[in-house]
Amino acid sequence: MRVVACPDKFRGTASAAEVAAAIAAGVRQHAGTRAEVVCLPAADGGEGTLDALGGPNRTSLVTGPLRERVEAPWRLAGDDAIVEMARASGLLLAGGVEGNDPLAATTAGTGELIAEAVASGARRVIVGVGGSATTDGGLGALDAMSPLARLAGVSVVVACDVRTRFCDAARIFGPQKGASPPQIKLLTRRLERLVDVYRERYGTDVSEMLGAGAAGGLAGGLAAGLRAELTPGFEVVATEIGLLDAIEGADLVITGEGQLDAGSFDGKVVGGVLEIAAENGVPVGVVVGAREPGADPAHWRPPAGELAPTGLVVLTERYGAERSMGDTLNAVREAAVELAAQLT
């Protein structure tokens, strides 16, 4: 029996790699030596993307979101580099919502990381966006990389965790970064001005570009200044880790995340795994920490093909909130035992 464990992180309690290992332990507990478990921790372009793509092997001192100096880990493997903007310009680095200054927060550190990756020999840079403190439209990053001519010939892929348009970034995500209603209006006007600046400076219109609003417009800024390719983050990660081939030959897939909601089925890990599994007729087990009312993979319909058999375990509903938060990995292991028994 071949099983693929490919969860996202459980934010605040466990990394994707830890959850995948717990799933593997549960499958082996159920099936013993019959089980071959392939662990492929996944991500959607946001936090955790760097770890899903091999983890950091370099660290650089860069400008943090509020212009303090921070140590930002990143990865260089051959000609490829992986940069996670949250490690340089993330909300947690700014002290969370309470500590952030949404008007001043800058993506300069992310630009410095990209420039250093290129100076170190990278010819292709994957930039994971998500978890940002910023709504500067990527201007800080572009200024930090100036002159941009030194990045000529480098392929930049932005792994977007949302499909938000450029000028909508402040309205949709500003409150999560501590922006008040008046600040959101000001940030929106800034983004609208940047549309004109980028059109005049780089000949690129980012206003209607899907995903350009990711990370407070960083994605759009990189698309304009570096001709970066904006790609759904899950697709980038799935391709890099070989997830499609792994699921194609599997008897069962178990995925999951911390919170299941409507967005889970639109560009996130759970929805992406369900879609690949449906195309290959592979049953899917889903284990999550909690869920919004009514969120259930059994109600999701794939764009093409038939939904394969699915199972869902919600840890807070099965084990209670205290154990789900305090003993997450053992709870995940027990859920995997149940899902493996149900679906194989």
- In terms of domains, do 78 and 226 share one? yes
**The domain that contains 219 carries what CATH number?**
3.90.1510.10
234, 258, 278 - which closes a domain:
234
- The CB density around residue 76, as the number of other CB atoms within 10 Å, is 18
- In terms of domains, do 106 and 21 share one? no
The pLDDT value given to residue 18: 97
The pLDDT value given to residue 266: 84
- In terms of domains, do 259 and 159 share one? no
Give the neighbor-by-neighbor strand order of the sheet with 124-128: 58-63, 69-77, 80-84, 124-128, 155-160, 229-232
Q: Which one-letter amino acid corresponds to residue 55? A: G
Across the range 106-116, mean pLDDT stands at 98
| Overall number of domains in the chain | 2
- In terms of domains, do 85 and 24 share one? no
Across the range 215-221, mean pLDDT stands at 98
- In terms of domains, do 66 and 175 share one? yes
Looking at the chain, the whole-number percentage of residues with pLDDT higher than 70 is: 100
pLDDT in tens, 143-161: 999 999 999 999 999 999 8
- In terms of domains, do 169 and 109 share one? yes
**The domain that contains 310 carries what CATH number?**
3.40.50.10350
In this structure, the strands spanning 284-291 and 310-314 are: parallel
Looking at the chain, the whole-number percentage of residues with pLDDT higher than 90 is: 90
DSSP state of 14: B
176, 202, 234 - which closes a domain:
234
pLDDT in tens, 230-289: 999 999 999 999 999 999 989 999 999 999 998 898 889 999 999 999 999 999 999 999
Band the pLDDT of 303: cuts 50, 70, 90: confident
Task: Give me the domain span that covers residue 252.
Answer: 2-40+242-343
- In terms of domains, do 19 and 63 share one? no
234, 259, 283 - which closes a domain:
234
- In terms of domains, do 80 and 172 share one? yes
Band the pLDDT of 74: cuts 50, 70, 90: very high
- In terms of domains, do 146 and 271 share one? no
